[in-house]
Amino acid sequence: MASSWWGDKEEHGTPVVVKMDNPYSLVEIDGPGMDSSEKARRSKNAKQFKWVLLLRAHRAVGCVAWLAGGFWGLLGAVNRRVRRSRDADAEPDAEASGRGRHMLGFLRAFLLLSLAMLAFETAAYLKGWHYFPRDLPEHYLRQLPEHLQNLPEHLRHLPENLRHLPENLRHLPDGLRMPEQQEIQGWLHRAYVAWLAFRIDYIAWAIEKLSGFCIVLFMVQSIDRILLCLGCFWIKLRGIKPGLKAAANKRGSKYADDDDLEDGDDLGAYFPMVLLQMPMCNEKEVYETSISHVCQIDWPRDRMLVQVLDDSDDETCQMLIRAEVTKWNQRGVNIIYRHRLSRTGYKAGNLKSAMSCEYVKDYEFVAIFDADFQPNPDFLKLTVPHFKGNPELGLVQARWSFVNKDENLLTRLQNINLCFHFEVEQQVNGIYLNFFGFNGTAGVWRIEALEDSGGWMERTTVEDMDIAVRAHLQGWKFIYLNDVKVLCELPESYQAYRKQQHRWHSGPMQLFRLCLPAIIKSKIPLWKKANLVMLFFLLRKLILPFYSFTLFCVILPLTMFVPEAELPIWVICYVPMIMSVLNILPAPKSFPFVIPYLLFENTMSVTKFNAMVSGLFQLGSSYEWVVTKKAGRTSSESDIFAMAEETDTATRPAPRLVRGVSEAGLEAWAKTHQLDNKDLQLKAQAEEVTSLAAAIKKTSKAKPPNRIFKKELALAFLLLIAATRSLLSAQGLHFYFLLFQGVTFLVVGLDLIGEQVS
């Protein structure tokens, strides 16, 4: 238009017709040729303005209805998830114990208190209550506006409209009196001012002391991580590896049988008797692959014996494992099947029972493989030669590798954590200290070292760490081989991973209580005692979960409601990011997951802290052992072995089959070779086992429903409430950290990470 909206000048342009989504059809805006009288234009524009307002109100109502419907749908989905979770919890959970209920009750009370504080702080924020007590901290004064920092103390508490009065008006005559703030603001404001004074004098002081203590622990643990990384870097730079005194250290995987060995080769003269133990319990998904890989280990058949130690209480699983043992027995493998009627002592009791057999005295070494491990054929030829000429060596530990590390986000994050453990912690401790925690599998023990250390004990759920500590106190040395890898499977469901981590973090604290007197009384050097107590147990098993949970899940949300005790940015952001980058260096392909890894480790600190307290004070489920559920993933190497096996069996006559091996031991196993076989019965039995295995695989494909994890959900809402409070005070990085950490807790609490494994 030429001059103004209501002017008389002629308007140029074309008419515009706007179609409105309301009962009225069209609204025509002014254009050339229309009535130019002021009254008509004003009437038409008023009508247009009315329809625009109606349209916007209609859209606003629709948006609110959409948000309300989405929120209601989310609540319904959560409610259905909770009901399905309760129906799916057929097995006892750690939260069913008194310890779990107490911690969950504490988190609920903490959440309700945070909600009340958020409502109180929001009301104060909306009313503009920004009052401070008389003795302001120095950092609070720096946060005041510049024109208020130089005001006298008594003027900082004046209302805003009185601070700029002339000096002669601030001092009233004797007959007049300025009303007190309490008289103006009312009881709610007085309560808020009293809360501020109490908060600064007592709560902020306690939080600052606790946060300072946790920051010191955090820095000590960070320095330990940095030193470990530097040690690993030096090992890689100098190419340091455990020495092999045998001459054929570089040819360990060459020899397929005795005919390939040359006279004079140190390795050829060293084929000691080796016992291979496979403890398992209801391992329907992985027993076949694991037994197949162990039975194909390249070692003289008369120099090794495979013990399948089955603790299964499922008769179907027992039948399947027994049939698999029978199959490999008829292919010339010395393999026996042992089953216990009672699962006393869990894995430690199973191994202890197997070592009590009379024929074990004929063997010098024992290799242990859990049910999901798939060793390569040259495993023994790469590990056993390290014992030759080294009588002080008690253990050779191999590294784990994972067949399903890229299966989902949960397995990727686990791979980061375990790669750092094996590549850095185990390797550095093995090279410089000759001691590390035995990983419970994929290792070879000298049987003399086991017996000298007291054998397997059933007193904790970490029998592998227990025997390693006792062997170290007896003076035995350990070797870690980072280049020898054994394939295994990572837990693919969060529930299975959670239970595994509970056992891994409650057991060490339980063991620490039991081993501390023995460590103090032992004859090992003082620096080894200090390493065991200060680094191995306290720093890496107790301090890490304590400060992670306390600092990031308790103190940080509290500081949003107590801003006088604010945590520095470098504690919240910079140092954790540096530590996460260091942790991810052994798995460089996982670098895009560095931030999810940091958030997920903070989320897991709840489970680890809970387990640590449980094991330290012998509470609830500190001696709970739940077998980690597996999906039965196999490697590409196993497929190659299967193809070669099928080709081999197609070109040679089928071996004779005998009945399953007796459970009593080697003597009973030897007698079974002399029994006449009934081919028809065995064929029917094989067909029955095959159909049974197919039925199990078919039923295992159905995924169970997702579960609800109440502790993680409670902390998710707590962190999101703290993020809302941080948004009110515009604290920047604190808000983003709390928001993303709260969302991570929410995702984990709703069981949206990983897969459901039946």
Is 464 a catalytic site residue?
yes
**CA dihedral of residues 534, 540, 542, 543 (deg, nearest 10):** 90
Tell me the C-alpha to C-alpha distance, in Å, between residue 244 and each of 251, 266, 381, 390. Answer: 11, 11, 12, 9
Tokens describing residue 336: 């026996």
Of 647, 573, 629, whose CA–CA distance to 757 is shortest? 629
Q: Catalytic annotation on 370? A: no
d(CA 94, CA 710): 12
Cα 738 to its chain centre, rounded Å, is: 19
Select which of 30, 310, 370, 464 is catalytic.
464
Where residue 159 falls (left for φ over 0; alpha for ψ -120 to 50; beta otherwise) is beta
* Sign of the CA dihedral running 243, 248, 253, 258: negative
Angle in degrees, CA 673, 679, 685, rounded to 5: 95
Residue that is written with structure tokens 């234009």 in the block: 41
Helix (H, G, I), strand (E, B) or coil at 280: strand
Two tokens, residue 564: 């006088």
Buried b (16+ CB within 10 A) or exposed e, 456-492: bbbebbbbbbbbbbbbbbeebbbbbbbebbbbbbbbb
235: helix, strand or coil: helix
> Quick check: 562 and 725 in contact, CB under 8 A?
no
Among 310, 311, 466, 751, the active-site one is: 311
- DSSP string for residues in 506-572: HHHHHHHHHHHHHHHHS-S-HHHHHIIIIIIIIIIIIIHHHHHHIIIIIIHHHHHH-GGGPPPHIII
Q: Which residues are catalytic?
A: 311, 464
